[in-house]
Structures are given as structure tokens and as C-alpha cells.
Amino acid sequence: MINVKIITWFGTLELDDSEHLVDCDILDRMDIDHLARRMREIQQETNDIPPAGYDLCDAAQECGFVSNGEEYVSLLHQVSIQATKYGVAESYTPDMRIIQAIGTLDDLDEAANLLSERLSEWYGLHFPELDKNTEQLANFVATHGSRSTLSAEDALFEKASSSMGAELSDTDETLLKGFAQNISALYEDRRRIEDYIIGSMGQLAPNLSDIAGPLIGARLISMTGGLPRLARLPSSTVQVMGANRALFKHLRSRAPSPKHGIIFNHPLIKNAPWWQRGKIARVVAAKISLASRIDLYSGRVELSLKDDLMVRIATIEAAHPNPPARSTVKSGKGKSKGGRR
């Protein structure tokens, strides 16, 4: 007869072939933290788990861990809550914080742009000659309010004096100034979050931050769901991340395949001539994949990555200084003017 050992959240049990309890090694039922951590550990295990249908409540009573079913359920409830708290705390990793910060940054951009547009339309009825928008407009309205408050030394005094806009009442001016102050606060929050992302990327993924830039690197981490997932992706996938529509269009029809996704915002790609962008994007994506893996598995800073990237880009620029000749051959597949016959 061979006994079977099973691991439970309250101890280790030994069963015979008929699943009868032979021996048990139970834990201290008063140590909720230890029981919760053990529960977290055995959730990841696939070996030595209780057989299907085995009643752990009866086993806990037979071992003397609890005296009755109500006590078992009550203790299990407490341990489960504590284990969930540990799980939530473990999920709040540095890359998860960056993901949340990137999401907040996008929400702030959307809200600030929408509210700035509303402020521009509203304040434009009063001072249409004012050539400001977004944050500049919000700061101007928050500071001055009505155009009549501008002093003669102000560069905009002449425009304000001859403005064709309608006058503002005291109530409207107070309301607009408060509205503009709120928009200015949104832009200030955005700067603080952006600084937080840059600092966090420098600690979590310094090589990725150096190659892709902290904001593009953070957005790649956000799109993949974490640095470990980004590090497992091939560079060809990294290259087109964010170009979903173009990729699906390519797969469904004869549209050309996308050469870059969000990494297009990288200065080395965005500022390059159009005929070099695809080749540069391929090199940048390869270095991003390598940088993310180094950040994940070693954490050491490799300055040679950036140097090698610049050498490869210089080689591309030297090899392709001029745009390729465009083909002038017609396909001949178009319909005739007569249509169907």
C-alpha cells in the first residue's frame, strides 16, 4: 500500500489508497498571515493537490485543526481575505505602476484637449483676436480674465483695445477664470505624471528608456501588459505595435504591410526621410527587444546598445541617400470606360 501526501492551506495530510487520513502535520491556526502566505504558495502548485471531491473541512476536523464546520468556514474566510490582500500587493509592481501612469496620462491629454477646445470657443466670443490655445490660453484666462484688465505695457494691449469681441459680465469672467484655472491644473498634473514616468523608467528599464525614450518605452510596456511580456516579444512584433488598423488592412487586402507602429514617434524614425524609415524602424525595434531583455534579466546598463544603434543607422543613411525610383508601369487591371458589356 502506497500512501499519498497532499498539501492543503492548513497543513500536510497523508492518505491511504482509500483516501482515509493516515497522518497529518497541521499549522498554527492562530497565525493568519502564515496561513495566507501558504495559501498563496499552494495556488501556484500543480503537484500534491487534494483529489477531486475530497472534503478538506472533514479532514481539518479529523486532524484537530478546527472543532466544527462553522469554525473551519470562518477561519477559511479570514485566511482568504488576507491572501487576497497579499495578491493585490504583489500585483502592484513597478511596471504596473508605469502602466497606470501611462493610462492616466492619456486620460489627462484627452480631458485637457477637450476642455481647452471648449475654453477656446467660449473665450473666443470675448477676445477672438487672441492667438493662443491649449495651455497658453488657459494660463492667460486664469491670470487676466477679461481683456480689459491688460495694462498698456502688455504686448496684447492694442489687440485687446480694438477687439471685436463681446464684453464679459463679472459673473462670466469669474466663471471663465475658474474654468481656466482647472485646465491649467490638469496640464500641471500631466507634467508631474510625465516626470514620474521618466523617473520610474530610469529605475525599472534604463536600457529601454535609453533606446526608445522613457515615454515610448513606457507605452510599449503598457501595451504589452508588463516588462516581462515585452521582453518575450520578437522585434518584428515590437516594430508594428500600435499599427493595428494598417496590419489588419494588410492581412485582409493587398495593402502594404505597416513598417512601424508607435515607435514612429521615435526621433530617429520620425525625422528620417520616408524611404529610410522602414529600415531604421527595424533596427530600432531590434534594439528595443534586446534592451528590454537586458533590463528584465540582468538589470545592468549597457551603453554600447545606443552606440551600436547609431552606427547601424549611419550605415543605413549612407547606403540609401536618395529615394528609390518609383515604378511608372501601369497594372492594366482597371475597368474600361464602357463598363460591363
- Helix crossing, 214-224 with 170-204: angle to 10°? 80
Amino acid 53: pLDDT: 79
Lookup: cell for 341: 458589356
**Which set of grid coordinates corresponds to residue 37?**
502566505
Instruction: Decide if pLDDT at 46 tops 90.
Output: no
> Is 260:277 a contact under the CB 8 Å cutoff?
yes
CATH class held by domain 205-319: mainly alpha
Rounded average pLDDT over 137-150: 95
| Least confident interval from 44-48, 168-172, 189-193, 277-281 | 44-48
Q: Which three cell numbers stand for residue 96?
A: 504596473
Name the least confident of 8-22, 109-123, 175-189, 307-321. 8-22
Of the chain, the percentage scoring pLDDT greater than 90 comes to 66
Sheet with 11-15: strands ordered across: 4-8, 11-15, 21-26
Q: Which of 136, 127, 185 is nearest to 161 (CA)?
A: 127
Fold match between domain 4-91 and domain 205-319: no
Give the 3-state secondary structure of residue 18. coil
How do 21-26 and 4-8 pair as beta strands?
A: unpaired
C-alpha cell at 73: 468556514
Beta strands at 21-26 and 11-15: parallel, antiparallel or unpaired: antiparallel
**What does CATH list as the number for 4-91?**
3.30.420.220
Q: Could you tell me which of 37, 4, 36 has the C-alpha nearest to residue 19?
A: 4
Q: What is the pLDDT of residues 273-287, one digit of tens each?
A: 999 999 999 999 999
What are the residue boundaries of the structural domains of the chain, listed by start? Answer: 4-91, 94-199, 205-319
CATH of domain 94-199: 1.10.287.4070
Find out whether 101 and 218 touch, Cβ atoms under 8 Å. Answer: yes
How high does pLDDT run on average in the chain? 89
Distance of alpha carbon 95 from alpha carbon 292, whole angstroms: 12
Q: Is the pTM of this model over 0.85?
A: no
